[in-house]
Structures are given as C-alpha cells and as structure tokens.
C-alpha cells in the first residue's frame, strides 16, 4: 500500500504543548499576550503550562517511540530562541532545548520535521507592527537563517510558516486568534502577502547558502478543505467553489507553485467588490515587487493540512462593507450524510482528502506531497476507547493509499494531528485531538485506542505486508 520510505508521523506545535512560557529567558509571544486577556479563549485558559513539554520532553519521546513513528513534526518557538525576535540576543537555553529534542529524535531513528513559525510571533515584533509590517520579512529570514545554521546539520525537512491563511484571516480579519485584530477586508491580505515574502526570502537563503551542504528540503504548510459545488450542474455553485479554492489554497499555492502571483479569480473578485463599495485606493490585494525574491518555485514539496470538506454555493453576506466574506461571496454547507467529529465545523469526509490530493496533483504540477496535519477531535466526556476516531484514521489512511496506488499521486508522508491532547487555540483544552490523552491535572499521557490502531497501521506498513 505505501512506499517503504513513507514518512509516518505525528505533529505538534510549540505554543500548544511546551508551556514554560517565561522559563529560562523565553520572551513573550502574541499567544501569551492574547490568552492573558480576558474573554479571548474558552474558559480563559492559556498555554502557560499546556503539556509542559519544555520540562517533560522525555515523556513525549516515549509516546513517539510507542507509536513507532518514523517522523515527528514540531515547531520552534521563535521567542524561546530569540526573545525579542532578532538575532541581537540569542537565548542559549532555548537552543539547548531544541538541540536535545532533535538529538534524542535522531538517536531513536525518528526524523524531525521542523516548523519555524506556528502562529506564535514574538510580542516584541508585534509591537513593531507584526505581520502587517513589510520589515517582518527580513526579520523572519534572519530567524530562519539562524535556525538553518544552528540545527540544519540534523534537520532535513523544514516548514517556514504553518497555515498562513489561518494566521491572516483568523488573526487579522476575524480577531479570534492572536493578535486579535478585526481590520476587515484589508489586514489579512497584507499579512498573507508579507508571509509569502518572508517564506520566499527564507527559501532563497536556504537554497543559496545551506542546501548544497545540508541537503534538506523547505516548504510552507497550507491548509485547505475540499470544496465541491452544492449542485453539481449549477454554474453559479461551480464558480463559487472555484472562488473558495482560490481564496483558501490558491491564495498561497498559486504564487508558490504556478505563476508567482495570486490567482486572477481572487484579485478580480476583490477588485470588483472594492469598486462596488466605492473603495478607490490601490487594490487591497498587494502586488509582488520585481525587486524582491521571486515567489515562484519556493517549495521543495507540497505540505498540506487537511481536516474536512464543504459543499459550496454563492452568498455569505457582508454586502455593505469591505470584508473577506464579501470578496469571496461563497456560502459553505455540510452534506447531511457526513458525520460530525466533536467540533461542529469538522465533518468527517475521508474521500475529500483523496479528491484534494488529486486537485493538487493536477493544478500544481504534480508535486511531492506531505500531509502535514490531519486529525479528528473529541469534545465532552473523555473516551479513551475512541472507536469513531479509530475508524476515521483507518478510512482516511485508506484514501491516501488509493491516492498513491490508483491516482499516481506522489504522497511522501502522513502526519496525524496530534501526538497528544494540547492547547487547541481559542478552544483551549476543551477539544482533544491527541493520539495520547493528556490529563492536565497531573500531565500524565495515556494512549488512546486510536493511538494503538495508528501504531498497528504503521507497523504493518513498515514490515512490508503492504508492499
């Protein structure tokens, strides 16, 4: 079923698991600030301690070994390594921590995949304008180069930025993620633009300075649902579906993999809405400068985070004011036949992943693909025997196998979200995605049934029973 060198992984991120929010010289991040404001997060919870992986890394390593993973995706806390966000001051305790994590993984025959930025900008940089400021791109490039130089002898798979679409929209349009801004119809496009600029600068730095010696690969992790028309024969629904794909996946994948610029369908929709509402300034979707690092070709593989699917029709309101919703003009609905995992937005649609993989193959020049996140949430009473999640992983991984075997898609690896229950952003600890349950009263880790099943799938695949 799977190639012998297929990467079997699980994923986490620094803010969601590490804790130690001000330990050993770490600087504050925008998520520290956001969570410490009342009313931002479920139950006013925060990641001050979370799974305490900063102190309990050995326990995490035991979990990784128990599953038989070949790969582990983690993120570095920018503010733990560089407390004010710049290389003027390096926190050696942070360097020591990540050195130990990487070395322990390699000793256990587990390859690290490292994300440089997973939502947690140093607060010092937010105070200077954050991702809205053009200068952020070179600050990120400096940070990335520091990491390539310090850890790149051992880390061969890098992700620059995780889910720029989520950072831009949820953090700067909807205000439900840090830094909590609601600058509708403008800030998100600017943030997305600066994230692409930052990513491209870091990729070019790796390519010209580190690749020949370190021989690693660098990409950017893009999230997307699978979208299909509510009514297959309806041209308006088809057009709305195209817009949804453009505003979610295409926003970042088109510049990196296809043209070096945004999808035309996205720009024309934004500009038409501006005109309609009498906004006569320059396009709200910025343009790339010819004087800057080229965006096209700045990914060595396609990193995809997939969770769910949607049916699409035109609509969605927000007619009278500038906002992304009005620009996109789509309404997303759930098919009544799709089961719902704990969260209302997370419909279970395993074959949506196969369809999305096929779309990526056909649209973005048949890239090598790593599925860098995919998972199933549990809310309410704890179920260690999580039968639904077991079925989810079995069905989803089966669809990935079909994508490889029947559709000829070059899928190189699969990372479950997440290794363990953790701080799930605005939902706090109310939502559980782990293969291991974490009891946040004593921080013990307990294997879910789905973790046992995932370990079996990995073991079977690696023993060659499935090719």
Identify the helix (H) or strand (E) that includes residue 312.
strand 309-314
Distances (CA, A) of 23 to 61, 78, 377: 21, 14, 30
Which residue is it, tokens 């079995």? 394
Which residue is it, tokens 């700067």? 172
Gap between the Cα atoms of 104 and 1, Å rounded: 30
Identify any residues that bridge with 73 across adjacent strands, giving them in sequence order.
11, 113
Neighbours of 231 (CB within 10 A): 12
Would residue 373 show up in a list of annotated catalytic residues for this protein?
Answer: yes
Gap between the Cα atoms of 443 and 59, Å rounded: 10
Q: Which of 373, 385, 406, 424 is catalytic?
A: 373
215-228 as b/e: b if 16+ CB within 10 A: ebbbbbbbbbbbbb
- Token representation of residue 367: 């890239």
Q: Is 444 left (phi over 0), alpha (psi -120 to 50) or beta?
A: beta
51 in Cβ contact with 432 (< 8 Å): no
Gap between the Cα atoms of 133 and 137, Å rounded: 8
Gap between the Cα atoms of 397 and 388, Å rounded: 14
Q: State the catalytic residues.
A: 373
């Amino acid at each position: 079923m799977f190639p012998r060198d297929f990467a079997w992984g699980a994923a986490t991120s620094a803010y969601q698991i590490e804790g130690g929010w001000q330990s050993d010289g770490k600087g504050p991040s925008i998520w520290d600030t956001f969570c410490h404001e009342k009313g931002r997060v479920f139950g006013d919870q925060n990641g001050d301690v979370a799974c305490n992986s900063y102190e309990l890394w050995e326990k995490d390593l035991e979990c990784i070994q128990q599953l038989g993973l070949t790969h582990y995706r983690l993120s570095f806390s920018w503010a733990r390594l560089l407390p004010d966000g710049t290389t003027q001051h390096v926190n050696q305790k942070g360097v020591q921590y990540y050195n130990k994590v990487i070395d322990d993984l390699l000793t256990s025959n587990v390859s690290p995949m490292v994300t440089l930025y997973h939502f947690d900008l140093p607060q010092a940089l937010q105070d200077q304008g954050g991702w809205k400021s053009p200068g952020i791109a070179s600050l990120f490039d400096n940070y990335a180069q520091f990491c390539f130089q310090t850890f790149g002898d051992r880390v061969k798979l890098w992700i620059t930025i995780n889910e720029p679409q989520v950072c831009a929209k949820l953090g700067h349009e909807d205000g439900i993620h840090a830094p909590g801004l609601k600058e509708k119809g403008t800030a998100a496009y600017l943030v997305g633009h600066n994230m692409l600029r930052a990513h491209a600068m870091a990729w070019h730095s790796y390519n010209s300075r580190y690749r020949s010696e370190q021989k690693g690969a660098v990409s950017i992790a893009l999230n997307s649902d699978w979208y299909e028309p509510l009514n297959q024969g309806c041209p308006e629904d088809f057009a709305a579906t195209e817009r949804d794909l453009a505003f979610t996946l295409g926003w970042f994948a088109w510049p990196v993999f296809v043209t070096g610029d945004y999808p035309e369908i996205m720009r024309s929709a934004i500009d038409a809405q501006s005109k309609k509402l009498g906004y006569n300034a320059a396009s709200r979707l910025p343009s790339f400068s010819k004087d800057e690092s080229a965006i096209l070709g700045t990914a060595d593989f396609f990193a995809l985070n997939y969770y769910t699917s949607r049916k699409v029709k035109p609509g969605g309101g927000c007619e009278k004011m500038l906002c992304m919703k009005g620009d996109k003009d789509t309404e997303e609905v759930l098919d009544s036949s799709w089961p719902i995992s704990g969260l209302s937005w997370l419909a279970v649609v395993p074959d949506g992943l196969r369809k999305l993989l096929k779309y990526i193959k056909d649209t973005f020049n048949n890239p090598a693909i790593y599925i860098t996140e995919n998972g199933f949430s549990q809310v309410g009473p704890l179920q260690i025997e999580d039968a639904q999640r077991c079925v989810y992983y079995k069905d989803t991984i089966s669809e990935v196998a079909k994508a490889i075997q029947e559709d000829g898609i070059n899928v190189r690896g699969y990372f479950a979200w997440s290794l363990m229950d953790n701080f799930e952003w605005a939902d706090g600890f109310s939502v559980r995605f782990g293969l291991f349950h974490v009891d946040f009263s004593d921080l013990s880790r307990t294997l879910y049934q789905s973790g046992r099943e995932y370990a079996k799938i990995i073991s079977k695949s690696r023993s060659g029973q499935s090719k």
